[in-house]
Structure 1
């Protein structure tokens, strides 16, 4: 009889918690702490009593001290493999869940097709249960403690990759005003999508526009405030004005506003991002956040970056009314946590500084993470760290650089089928254990470490927190 597979990747970092996953006539309960669990299940037609309706429910439940924290589910058709209805049918509607100030549950589901283009043929679900790291810096280096006098550079900072692409709202406003055909122009420097756009009519591109954007650009699903509560403390932001062809349409106003740019696809406004970060710092007086401005991949000839004066004005506007002072690279590298707090330099702002990143176009163009894993020891050699401002370990794959995977995501995918989401659980299951086991003896203590990931969740943050504690105690 036909069936559809579901792979579940789970991580539990809170004592007393359990994750229970189930399909018709089969369930598994996970309790081991800080283990990267993988469970493979089948929604089997033989286990579904109805003769005509062969949909079976895939469910996961999270418990804390026996109490139900959350239950999430989706119906899986054992005949067609389709996943529908339920609470996980749209990735944008699966926000992190905070439970009684004790824990954060982060989760997501990739709806798999038949495995075209090398993409998974089994549905992929990830779920993490971790402490709420809302006071990440404070709890690891408490004010007045000996650890507060350690260099801030000892920290490993969790980071959401492309934080500004956590929503379709800016792009949807553009599409509503000027139509979907404009997407071909916005992604003109993506070599694989450009070929696809050239092969399709303007009408076809217009119809596919939301899928194109979602498959290529959306890498987060939680709000900035939620990401900060999960534990994010480092952000890369690529602010620039809207594409020159969009500005005259008035799709987004005012015209001089700067947005996060993924290629030329607009995301979160820069001023909104800065206000959110400063607001969080004001309400969390022991926290420290690092921001790095850069413009990798942004077509600056058509998306104008802010001038030095505009960058200063954005920062001044965000800091106005607070006692927070902007710090710089020297502050980040040389000062202790206590000194940064005393000097009120709790917002470190970097601008295109030279860091050591593990990212490479070839090694990160993967659907299983193996090439990333194999590359890490070589990239992170001690000699490569010399002279670099910090080390950025990127955990997320970039299947958007794989032509067949992109074509499938764009032509056939929906709101849970992004090729970026397809690799989330698979890569985390391989990359994060390597980071946990190797960073302490691989990265020099005087180099701050960034741990970056798509769909930032509790496992990434918990690994970073435990490494931070070990580095601070050395």
Structure 2
């Protein structure tokens, strides 16, 4: 009988929690702490009682001491392999869940629909689930004011990071497509081999129809609000602020202000990012955020802000703090203790294109299974490479958007529910995060800040970074 597989990846960092996974006539329960587990469940036609409707439900429940935190589900057709309906039928409909039971638990999860499968991307549906504490105050708890830990250098910490933080929704892009039309998508993404192949394959009107899929598959790397990312635990962000592409400005498709730019695809507004970051710091007085401005990959058609414009945006955001928060810089990051940063109110550290060590390479991160990423880690993370760097950026995410066949499939044969970025999330995390947990203390200089960057920032990434921070503070 036909069947369709669902590969599930779980991680639990809160005692008393469990994850119950179900398909017709099969239930699996996971409750091990701090364990990266993955296993296969099968939606099998023989286990579906109906003779004509061969859809079976895949669902998961998260429980805390027996109380339901969340339940999510989607129907899987055992014959066609397609998944639809339910609460996980689009990536945008799977934001992180904050426990309604006042027990400070966050469930981060995602679902990739494999459809009938493809020889490049996974043939099984993919689902990841992480259950972790609400880490809105994790720095304050690891290094409480007045503690010995607070007297340690800030660069002892390992900061979780949301890769391309500004690409967390289609809001800006949708406004552009609505005003200008889908044909602009090819101009916004730049010289991308996959897009060239797509435009060679379909007509002009068809390009307009698939334009949202092109942008989603190439650029959307997060699905939570900035405040949610911060509560998940993220404390380092790279932001590429620039004005919109000249074509967008000419059409007045968006207000002329600074936006996160992925190539020329506009994302989160920079003033909103800064304002939300400052608001979070005001609400969490022991936390410290690091932001680095960069412009790699931003085309010349997107004007970069001058130094004065950067200062104006930052000053406007800090105004709401009324002197309670001031901006720090590279020297503060390198030489200050956690206590000094708090005492001097420098809890928003702003960097501009500083010299850091990144594990990312175009070839190594263009993977569908994460093996080449892990293989590169020990080669890059050496004492010689780390010497003199402002910080170390361990990039855990794959760049499937650099694999032409994967992007073409995501755009033409599928849609925004089957992003090639989401396709690689769970399988790569199951390898990169355990490696970081087991090797960062050994391979990274204890006096250099470490960043752990990931797509779709999640509780497992945050928990590994927080536990590493605790260990480094104890050294």
Task: Give the TM bin, normalised by the shorter chain.
Answer: over 0.9
Q: Structure 1 CA distance, aligned partners of 2:195 and 2:143?
A: 46
Aligned to 1:71: 71
Aligned to 1:196: 198
Aligned to 1:175: 177
Aligned to 2:306: 307
Aligned to 2:446: 445
Aligned to 1:282: 282
CA contact (8 A) 1:112 1:122 kept: yes
Structure 2 counterpart SS, 1:387: coil
RMSD, matched Cα: 0.9
Structure 2 counterpart SS, 1:216: helix
CA contact (8 A) 2:106 2:134 kept: yes
Tell me which of 114, 117, 120 is aligned to 2:116. Answer: 114
1:410 positional shift:
1.0
1:191 positional shift:
3.1
Q: Structure 1 CA distance, aligned partners of 2:46 and 2:270?
A: 53
Aligned to 1:332: 333
Report 1:401-440 matches (<5 A). Answer: 401-440=402-441
Q: Structure 1 CA distance, aligned partners of 2:103 and 2:362?
A: 40
1:195 positional shift:
3.6
1:95 positional shift:
1.1
1:55 positional shift:
0.3
More divergent stretch after superposition (159-168 vs 182-191): 182-191
1:337 positional shift:
0.2
Aligned to 2:168: 166
Q: CA offsets per residue over residues 28-80 of structure 1, 9 Å max, x none?
A: 00010000010201000000000000000001000100111111000000000
Structure 1 counterpart SS, 2:363: coil
Total equivalences in the alignment: 471
Gaps of 5+ in 1: none
CA contact (8 A) 2:245 2:302 kept: yes
Q: 2:4 aligned with 1:7, yes or no?
A: no
Q: Structure 2 CA distance, aligned partners of 1:403 and 1:332?
A: 39
Report 1:64-463 matches (<5 A). Answer: 64-99=64-99, 100-253=102-255, 255=256, 257-299=257-299, 301-322=300-321, 323-463=324-464
1:197 positional shift:
2.5
Q: Structure 1 CA distance, aligned partners of 2:279 and 2:470?
A: 26
Structure 1 counterpart SS, 2:418: coil
Q: CA offsets per residue over residues 392-416 of structure 1, 9 Å max, x none?
A: 0011100111111111011122232
Structure 2 counterpart SS, 1:245: helix
Q: TM-score, normalised by structure 2?
A: 0.98
CA contact (8 A) 1:113 1:120 kept: no
1:113 positional shift:
2.7
Q: CA offsets per residue over residues 153-196 of structure 1, 9 Å max, x none?
A: 00000000000000100000000001000001111232332343
1:204 positional shift:
1.6
Gaps of 5+ in 2: none
